[in-house]
Structure formats: C-alpha cells, structure tokens
A and B are shown apart, each in its own frame.
Chain A
Amino acid sequence: MNGTPMLQVKDLAKRFPPRSRDEEAPWILADLSFDVADGEFLTMVGPSGAGKSTLLNIIAQVDNASGGEVFFRGQLIETANGAGLNPGWNCQIGYITQDDNLLPWRTLIDNVTFPLKLQGRFDDEAKRRVDELLRVTNLKGFEHYYPHELSGGMRKRASVIRTLAYDPPIILMDEPFGSVDAQTRTQLQQDLLRLWNLGRKTIVFVTHDIGEAISLGDRVLVLSKSPAKIVAAHAIGIKRPRDLGNLYKLDGFGDMFEAVRRQIQ
C-alpha cells in the first residue's frame, strides 16, 4: 500500500439545474470530502434522499459535479464538464447499481462476460475467472437462463460478478441488496464478503441500512440529510472473516449501531 489514496473526494458539490427561472435549486451535495485507501472496504450510511446515489454517479462519471474535485490514484478526474465525462474512467472504476441492470436479452453468462468482451479481454484466464465466480456464487447450471427466469437474489449475484469479472481496481456499490428479502440479503452480504476476500478490491459501499454498513465495512462514514455532509467516521475493528449471522451478538455492536443511528438524525 503506497501513500496515495485510491480515491480522493475534495469539496464535492452538486445541484441539479433549476426547474424554473425564479427557483433556486437546492444543493444535493455540499463541501463533501473524504479519502478511500487502497484495498479498503468503505461503507457510507445516510438517510434516503441524502444524495448517496448522486455521489456515486459523479465518481463513476455518469453525472457531472457542480464543484469540487475527484482524484483517482492521485490523478484529477474531469467532473465539471458534462460532455467530457468518461464513464467508468477507462474501466478503472466499477459501478454496481441499485437495480441489477442485467440486459434482459442476454443470458446470465452473456451478461457476466459482456464487459470482458467489450474490452476485448475475454481470454482463457478470464474464462477461468468467470467460471470460479459462478461457482462461488452458486450460479453454475444457470448460465443459459435469461434474467427474467432467475430469482431476485440470483440476478443480484450475477450483477455483482459481472463487475468483479473484469476486475476494476475500485468498485462503487449503490445499495445493491436494497430490494431483496432479509434472508437473501444476509446471504448476499456473506457472498460479497467471501468474494471480496478473494481479491481485496477497494470498495465504496453506500447504504441506508446501519447494520449493513457496520457489518461489511472497515470504516463507516455517516452522512447527514441533504445536502450530504460527513458527520462522523467510525473504524470498524471486527476481525475478518466475519460471520454476519452472529455479528450483532458481539460486544460493542449494539452501541455502535445506536451511535450511528443518533448521528444520522
């Protein structure tokens, strides 16, 4: 691990264009600054509507900022000019969105290998890697199913390994497990940690679920209501590998949960 953080966000600000001429558009983000270290699993927790998705959209370069700077490995990323955006920053920044966004006309395997094929990197090693990911996520045997033939949890896993397969150094996750039932959710979180252990990618994981933020992250940033500001940062000392089903029994988990809950309000 060298000194330069993987990702630096400095004084980031965002507001959307006003809807009418005499209306002042509200700020979604204002003076938001934080660093993400190489190999860190950072979680950000904040209330719904805090601008979490907007923040990730800006870092992923699918939306522009109204002010501030973003650095990737010390290099400035163009964020202000909407036309000059470079989504994914040359496949360096992965983005797993709230909806699985699997292309409905491609089978599971064609979805998972799609980024690799686009990037012209679908070689034997990539094939082995995809095979391994399918195995770890219990998706083997379903390669030729279309997304509508899969359950919600399977689609989520497919969407996660689609990004892991092409191996970007940093991955942004926007409440990827928001729309599944509680049991599936715990399973998906456990799967994610297992996958993460294989490569220890840098992850920025955004959620409104306090428990999820604490159980997954090395560090939790607590965001305020819009315009989003960082109101607290907590280092999570729970050792890995973590058993998510029993995490809440650990000393200090409840206190941490309470503290974060109060800070959000």
Chain B
Amino acid sequence: MPLSRATDIRRHGALRRPRRRGLDAERRRVLIDRTIAIIIVIALWQGCSIYFGTIWFSSPWLVFTRFIDEVQSGDLVFQASYTLSAAFYGALLGGVPGALLPFALRRHPVAGAIFDPYFTGGYGVPKLALAPLFILWFGIDLEPKIALVASIVFFLVFFSTTAGVNAVNAQYVNIVRVFGAKERDIARHVVWPGAIPYVFAGFRIAAPYSIGAAVVGELISSNRGLGFMINSGATDFDTSIVFVGLVTLTLLVVVINLLVARAERWLLRWRPPQQGMSTRVVGA
C-alpha cells in the first residue's frame, strides 16, 4: 500500500499537533503592547525619582549604570550566586522528598492517615517565622537559608504531588493489572507519569518562593547574598543598589520560570495542547 504519509493522515484522520512558527498578527500585537507598557513603567519610575529625589528613589538610568558596574566588578554575580545556591539546595532538599513521599504514602495508606494532620498543620505554619529558629540552630551561613527554603518548598511540592497521586486513573490501574502489572509496575508506569504534571506545578509555584525565602533569610542575618546587598544599600541610603538587587531577583525568577516551563513542555509532550499550560496557582 504505497500511500504517502500525508494521504495516510488524511485518510485516518490522525492529528499532529500544529506547530506555530513565526509571528502571527495576534502575537505581534501582544509584543507591541508589552513594549509600550514597559516604556510607561520606566517613565513613571523616572517621574518618581525626579519628584522624590534620587536619594529616596533611584532613577532607571542610575540603576542601569550601577547594574553594569556591579556586574563588571563581579560583585553582583557573587551575591546572586550565593542567593541562588541557597534557593537551589533548599528546593532540592525540600522538593525531592516532597515529590517522593506521596508515592510511599500511597503504598501505606494507614501511615498517610496518621500523618495527614501533621502535614496540614506544617503547611499552615508561617515558615518565615521559623527563620530566627533556623539561625539559632544553624548559624548565619548558608545552612539556615537552605533550611528555610526547604521548609517552604517541601509542603508546596508535597501537596501538589499528593493531588496528582490521588488523581490516578483507576481504569488505567485496572487494565495494567490485567496485563500482569505488579504494584511496582503500577507505581512506575501509571501513577508516576500521571503525577508528573502535578510535580511540575508544585515546583513552578515553589520557584519564586524559594528565591524569596533565601532573600528573607539574608535580610535577617547575613553578610552575603542579594538580601544582604539590598539591606545594606537601604541602610546607606544607596537606593540604586537596592533597585539593582530587586531587578536581579526579578530576572532570576523569570529565568527559572522559563527553564521550568521548557523542561515541562519537553517532558509532557504527550499531553494534548489545550492542557499544555501548567496551572498557575498563587498559594502559600
């Protein structure tokens, strides 16, 4: 049957996901409007700096030149990498157990029922209030910041993954049992792939919080990191450096989000396009 692929697809009605290439009118419009919005924000900022004076409200130009200076001196990279490593190790230390524990609890429902109130309670504790305790326990280096980030990320990823594990399709479980699957196969081939979108949603929500928690840890007590930089800048009435810190933090979160979104799109390419976006939830 020497049919071309195109004929084959038409005949069988198979659908490949249409891939968009280039800019269509709608996307161009969004880009233009976005640029206009950025210009307005920068103009307002400039207006504020003129009205209040650059001591209180550094101007966009000052912040920009200071940003370049700090990058060239290597100081900004040093501070940012300190904050980033606290956020990264914290997200790892909290996120990995948060993503794995729901699978263990699926196999041991009794343990799950026993610990459930503790997880809910732990989720409810305002973690930032734990910062002084972590400093007391772990000192003022990287460790208390990692602990703070981990305590926040763990619960976000844990609850999101638990929702995914509970949402497992019972029909899939039954059919793979009929095929001869054991519990281990079910966990690996049905529950885990089905829960991955939820794991991703958890990490996506957790990403800005992990940066935020690392900064709060540095604000409270540190001699390094973007939080320290912002704090000492404010103490010295050096608002340029405060804004440089804020801009850097924002850029970091944006880049992390982009990386997570890209990884998600690759790993979850089996999903129909209309479900392609992970849920953007504001929580914690």
Contacts and interface: CB of A to CB of B under 8 A. Distances in A.
Interface stretch (B8-16, B117-125, B198-206): B8-16
Given A101-B172, A104-B270, A87 B14 contact: no
Interface in B1-51: 5, 8, 12-17
B12 A87 contact: no
B181 interface: yes
A101 B190 CA distance: 11
A263 interface: no
Contacts of B114: none
A145 B177 CA distance: 24
Contacts of B179: 88, 91, 114-115, 118-119, 166
Given A103-B190, A146-B269, A149-B14, A87 B5 contact: no
A194 to B, nearest CB: 15
Nearest to A85: B177
Interface in B174-197: 174-181, 185, 189-190, 193-194
Contacts of B194: 105
A141 B13 CA distance: 13
B176 to A, nearest CB: 7
A95 B270 contact: no
Contacts of B272: 148
A196 to B, nearest CB: 19
Nearest to B192: A105
A115 B175 CA distance: 10
A24 to B, nearest CB: 27
Interface in B61-110: none
A99 B178 contact: no
Contact of B177 (A88, A94, A114, A138): A88
A101 B175 contact: yes
A30 B161 CA distance: 42
Contacts of B271: 104, 148
B171 interface: yes
Interface in A95-126: 95, 97, 99, 101, 103-107, 114-115, 118-119
A142 B14 contact: yes
A149 B16 contact: yes
A77 B189 CA distance: 27
Contacts of A149: 14-17
Interface string A145-185: 11111110110000000000010000000000000000000
Given A104-B271, A146-B270, A91 B14 contact: no
A104 B194 CA distance: 9
Contacts of B17: 149
A106 B175 CA distance: 15
Contacts of B8: 141
B15 A151 contact: yes
Nearest to A150: B14
A154 B9 CA distance: 11
A94 B14 contact: no
A119 B175 CA distance: 14
A232 B175 CA distance: 31
Contacts of A119: 179-180
A246 interface: no
Nearest to B273: A148
Contacts of A150: 12, 14-15
A99 B171 CA distance: 9
- Name the residue in B180, B190, B194 with the highest tally of chain A Cβ atoms < 10 Å from its Cβ: B180
Contact of A105 (B14, B176, B270): B270
Contacts of A148: 15, 270-272
Contacts of A106: 270
A138 B1 CA distance: 10
Interface string A38-70: 000000000000000000000011100000000
B193 A105 contact: yes
Q: Which 9 A-B pairs have the closest CB atoms?
A: A88-B178, A87-B177, A115-B179, A151-B13, A148-B272, A105-B193, A105-B270, A62-B174, A91-B180
5 contacts: A62-B177, A87-B174, A90-B180, A146-B270, A154-B14
